[in-house]
Amino acid sequence: MGEKYYKYVIVGGGVAAGYAAREFANLGLQPGELAIISKEAVAPYERPALSKAYLFPEGAARLPGFHVCVGSGGERLLPEWYTKKGIDLILGTEVVKADVASKTLTTAYGAVYKYGTTLVATGSTFIKLSDFGVPDADAHGIYYLREIKEADALVQAIKTKKDAVAVVVGGGYIGLELAAVLVLNKLKVTMVYPGPWCMPRLFTTHIASFYEGYYKAKGVTIVKGTVASGFETDQHGHVKLVKLKDGRELPADIVVVGVGARPVLAPFKGQLAEEKGGFKVDGFFKTNVPDVYAVGDVATFPLKLYSDTRRVEHVDHSRKSAIHAVQAIKAAEAGNSIPEYDYLPYFYSRSFDLSWQFYGDNVGEDVVFGRDNTTTQPKFGAYWIKDGKIVGAFLEGGTPEENKALAKLAKEQPTAPSKETLLAEGLNFALMTNRVGPPNL
C-alpha cells in the first residue's frame, strides 16, 4: 500500500480538529494540503452537547446541528464544508502508530500517511471502572460517555427503560450533568461519589452544598464518601445492582460512569517529551520534535498568567489552543511571529435551570457572596484571593455582561479589598472595577 502525503495532518477529529481546520482555511490553504484522521465516523462536532441537549427528552440536539464551530458562535462546518475547502476527512480511522523521525502515520487498516507538519489533537478518553479492577464493570447496562456512539447507546437505554432506576457513579462535570438530564427523562437517580462534596477540584464546600441541595430538591439521591466496588447482573448479563465499598447495595437498571478522563497520548508516546500527563509544548504548542504540535487535552503548556505549566481538559482551551497552534504554524512558514499563548482558565456548566461560569484559579482563600437558596432564582458567586490579589471568580446565574466582568477581574488580578468589603459588595465589586453595566446583585 502506497504512502499518501499531506502538508498538514491533524490526528484526532474532535473539537480542536474542527477549529484548527477552520483556522487553516482562514489563513490560506490549498486543496489537498490538509487531512483530518479521526476514529469517529462523523465530522468534528461540539462535544459538550453530548452530556446536555443530546440527551434531552424533547427537542434533543442532533447532528448536523452541533458540528463545530457553533459552540463559539461561529459557522457550522458541515462535511460539505471540508470538501469545498479541499480538506480530506478520513473518518472511522484510527492512527495506531506514528514515527516522528520518518514523519509517517499508520492506521489500524494499514494505510500509511506522510506529513510535513502534524497537529496532535487526540483529546481524552474516559477512565473505566475496570481500570481500577472493579469486578463486572463491563456488564450490559453500564455506560460511559465521550463520543456520539456512546451517547446513542445511552439514549436507546433511556427510551427502552421508561421509569428506570439509574445510578450515576461520579460527582464531577459528567456526573452532575448526566444526573440532571436523567431526571429530566423521568428516571429515578442516585449519585455516588467518594468525596465529602461534589466537584471537589473546583467547588468549595459552600458552593457544593448549594448544588447538592438543588439536586436533592429535584429528586436526586446523593450517596457520598464511598465508591462502586462491584456489580450484580441478571441471567442475561445486565446490571441490576451496584455494590458499594461501604457495604450498601443500590438497585439499578442503568449505570452511568463519570470518574474522570485521561489524555490519549498513543501513538506518539515515547517519542515526544512529556510533563504533567501530557506532551510538553511551548507557548506556540510546538513539541520538542520539529513539525509536531500538540493541542487541547494532550498538551501541557506554559500558563503565563500564573508562571506555571498545566494541562487543561476543557472545550474552551481545545478551541483556543488549536487556533493558536495553526496561527503559529502559518506565521513560522511566512517568517513571522505571533505572541505566545496567554490563556485565562475558564470552565462552565449548565444543568436543570442552573448555569455557572468560573474564571482564573481556585487557590487561596474563598469569599462566597449572594443568594444561593433554592426557593428563588439562585444568583451567587465567589472570589478566590491569593497573595492579596483576586485570582479567581465564580458566578451562578450571571448575565453575559456580568460573566465578562468576572473574566476581566480574574485576568487582571486586582488587589483584593477586605473580606468584609467583598462580602458586602459581592458582584458589584467586579462590575464597578470593570465598569460593566449596572449592578444586579
* Contacts of 233 by beta carbon, 8 Å cutoff, 6+ apart: 136, 139, 140, 239, 240
**pTM for this structure?**
0.95
Provide the pLDDT for residue 439.
43
Phi, psi of 354 (to 5 degrees): -100, 155
Provide the pLDDT for residue 163.
84
All three cell numbers of 42: 462523523
All three cell numbers of 93: 480511522
Q: How far apart are CA 369 and CA 396, in angstroms?
A: 11
Of 81, 88, 86, which is closest to residue 64 (Cα–Cα)?
Answer: 81
Q: If phi over 0 gives left and psi between -120 and 50 gives alpha, with beta otherwise, what is residue 182?
A: alpha
Grid-cell match 472570589, residue found: 383
**Burial category of 161 from C-beta neighbours within 10 Å (exposed 0-12, middle 13-18, buried 19 and up):** middle
Residue type, 410: A
- Are the beta carbons of 378 and 371 closer than 8 angstroms? yes
Q: How far apart are CA 321 and CA 308, in angstroms?
A: 16
DSSP letters spanning 146-174: SSHHHHHHHHHHHHHSTT-EEEEE--SHH
Q: How far apart are CA 53 and CA 60, in angstroms?
A: 5
- Are the beta carbons of 248 and 223 closer than 8 angstroms? yes
Q: If phi over 0 gives left and psi between -120 and 50 gives alpha, with beta otherwise, what is residue 229?
A: alpha
Provide the pLDDT for residue 434.
72
Residue type, 127: I
- Are the beta carbons of 388 and 381 closer than 8 angstroms? no
pLDDT single digits (tens) 13-68? 999 999 999 999 999 999 999 999 999 999 999 999 999 999 999 999 999 999 99
DSSP letters spanning 264-284: --TTTTTTS-EETTEEE--TT
User: What is the overall mean pLDDT for the chain?
Assistant: 95
Q: How far apart are CA 311 and CA 313, in angstroms?
A: 7
- Are the beta carbons of 196 and 224 closer than 8 angstroms? yes
Provide the pLDDT for residue 377.
78
- Are the beta carbons of 333 and 326 closer than 8 angstroms? no
Q: If phi over 0 gives left and psi between -120 and 50 gives alpha, with beta otherwise, what is residue 413?
A: left
Segments of the chain scoring below 70 in pLDDT: 1, 372-376, 435-441
Asked if omega into 267 is within 30° of 0 (cis), the reply is yes
Taking each helix axis from N to C terminus, what angle separates 427-434 and 400-412, rounded to the nearest 10 degrees? Answer: 80
Residue count of the chain: 441
DSSP letters spanning 15-44: HHHHHHHHHHHHH---TTSEEEE-SSSS--
DSSP code for 417:
-
Our separate counts of H helices and E strands in the chain read 9, 26
